[in-house]
């Protein structure tokens, strides 16, 4: 089960005025499984997003980018069970058919629909199943369907990932609700998963685009499960403008800062849920690097630790073989690193300083921390004031089992 994750309840998720969601069991990969989601937006809604940097990006990513550039987006469609990636021109044709079919059902233009897919790569999309399933999803459209929507986008995930939050802007209540999927193929290179966050705030598309970039950099781009970047990653931010008359018009305004912070908090909550539900995960690990010369070198150290199979397997075994962390710091790529200035903490325990084990360190202290399910690794570089935080998990036997059985 996911690491220290309380169960998600339907009543925890708040509807967003201007958005309805519909779910269907289309039988894309297996029967009796929610695998198709349609999201419909009110006229005038604003949409912003960022996508994977994988050069083998999926057909729906290519098409979504094209359609998003034209704006006036009225619907999103998400299928699981098949990524429609590595499928060439046929994949693009299938993505277009998906958008066209949904657009006809809703009375919109094809380019007003954004497609998303997740699942097995380099297999032909079962377009007939999707075309047959779309009318069922449209018939299911309702505002309070976020809980089912969170289930409908899962692949190897064990649990759904969703969160809601409300804030006050000049006396006006603003609602934010988001869902995400992700469990494996998770590495920060934008966007590391599929994520959809919506708000009823009144804001322009350019300002919304600034928020989605900031939120991703402080949430979904701070997580890693296995160091792999998917072909289908996307993080979309939707704003219906139905909250009232408090319009956010300036990036320098207090209202913009408040909305950006709230959306980032929801995004970070979803991102951490992904790590806690990492394939086979038994430990949730926070890697914090402080006092770096700049953020880039802090990131290098954090990801060297977070991506290391040796470090991750040691955490799975609860084995305080902490020299593996020192080794990762050393190969992170800081050419002028003075190892005598580096301090390493495991939880509240000082492990290393002055180039070696701290005189006060005792293995039983390290063992006490390693036995916990939530663990913080803190590296102090003593080179400046920059800092970064990354969230990751351990590698267990189940990670291998899940990925070796993925297509069966």
Contacts of 232 (CB under 8 A, 6+ apart): 52, 57, 58, 60, 61, 83, 85, 116, 117, 118, 194
Q: Please tell me the number of Cα atoms within 13 Å of 376 on its side-chain side.
A: 13
The residue that leads in pLDDT, 247 or 185, is: 247
Instruction: Say if domain 10-276 classifies as CATH 3.60.70.12.
Output: yes
What would the mean pLDDT of 229-242 be, rounded to a whole number?
89
What is the C-alpha radius of gyration for the chain, rounded to an integer number of angstroms?
A: 22
pLDDT value of position 228:
57
- To the question of pTM greater than 0.85 for the whole model, the response is yes
Q: Are 174 and 243 in contact (CB under 8 A)?
A: yes
CATH superfamily name and code, 284-404: ArgJ beta chain, C-terminal domain (3.10.20.340)
pLDDT of 371-397, one tens digit each? 999 999 999 999 999 999 999 999 887
The full set of domain ranges for the chain reads 10-276, 284-404
Q: Are 220 and 178 in contact (CB under 8 A)?
A: no
pLDDT value of position 35:
96
Phi, psi (deg, nearest 5) at residue 212:
-65, -35
Write out the catalytic residue numbers. Answer: 192
> What burial letters (b/e) apply to 44-59, b meaning 16+ CB within 10 Å?
ebbbbbbbbebeebbb
pLDDT value of position 184:
46
pLDDT value of position 71:
74
Block residue for tokens 């005792």: 362
What would the mean pLDDT of 264-279 be, rounded to a whole number?
91
Q: Identify the weakest region by mean pLDDT among 14-28, 69-83, 272-286.
A: 272-286
pLDDT of 57-106, one tens digit each? 899 999 999 999 987 999 999 999 999 999 999 999 999 999 999 999 99
Average pLDDT, the chain: 92
pLDDT value of position 187:
52
pLDDT band at 146 (very low <50, low <70, confident <90, very high): very high
């Amino acid at each position: 089960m996911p690491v220290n994750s309380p169960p998600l309840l339907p009543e925890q998720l708040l509807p967003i005025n201007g958005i309805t969601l519909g779910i269907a069991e289309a039988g894309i990969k297996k029967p009796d499984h929610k695998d198709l989601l349609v999201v419909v937006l009110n006229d005038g809604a604003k949409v912003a997003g960022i996508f994977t940097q994988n050069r083998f990006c999926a057909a729906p990513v290519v098409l979504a980018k094209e359609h998003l550039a034209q704006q006036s987006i009225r619907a999103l469609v998400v299928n699981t069970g098949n990524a429609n990636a590595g499928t060439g021109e046929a994949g693009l044709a299938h993505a277009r058919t998906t958008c066209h079919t949904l657009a006809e059902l809703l009375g919109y233009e094809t380019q007003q629909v954004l497609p998303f897919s997740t699942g097995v790569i380099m297999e032909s999309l079962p377009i007939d199943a999707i075309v047959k399933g779309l009318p069922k999803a449209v018939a299911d459209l309702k505002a309070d369907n976020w809980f089912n929507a969170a289930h409908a986008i899962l692949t190897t995930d064990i649990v759904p990932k969703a969160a809601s939050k409300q804030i006050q802007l000049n006396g006006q209540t603003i609602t934010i609700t988001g869902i995400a999927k992700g469990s494996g193929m998770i590495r920060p290179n934008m966007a590391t998963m599929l994520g959809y966050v919506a708000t009823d705030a009144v804001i322009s598309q350019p300002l919304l685009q600034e928020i989605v970039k900031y939120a991703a950099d402080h949430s979904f781009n701070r997580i890693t499960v296995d160091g792999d970047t998917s072909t289908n990653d996307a993080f979309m931010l939707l704003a219906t403008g139905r909250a009232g008359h408090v319009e956010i018009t300036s990036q320098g305004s207090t209202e913009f800062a408040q909305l950006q912070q709230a959306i980032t908090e929801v995004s970070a909550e979803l991102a951490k849920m992904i790590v806690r539900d990492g394939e086979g995960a038994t430990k949730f690990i926070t890697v914090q690097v402080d006092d770096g010369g700049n953020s880039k070198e802090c990131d290098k150290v954090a990801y060297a630790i977070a991506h290391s199979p040796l470090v991750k397997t040691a955490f799975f075994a609860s084995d305080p073989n902490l020299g593996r962390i020192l080794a990762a710091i050393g190969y992170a790529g800081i050419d002028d690193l003075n190892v005598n200035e580096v301090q390493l903490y495991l939880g509240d325990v000082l492990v290393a300083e002055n180039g070696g084990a701290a005189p006060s360190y005792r293995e039983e202290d390290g063992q006490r921390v390693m036995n916990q399910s939530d663990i913080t690794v803190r590296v102090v570089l003593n080179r400046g004031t920059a800092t970064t935080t990354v969230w990751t998990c351990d590698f267990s036997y189940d990670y291998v089992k899940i990925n070796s059985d993925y297509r069966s």
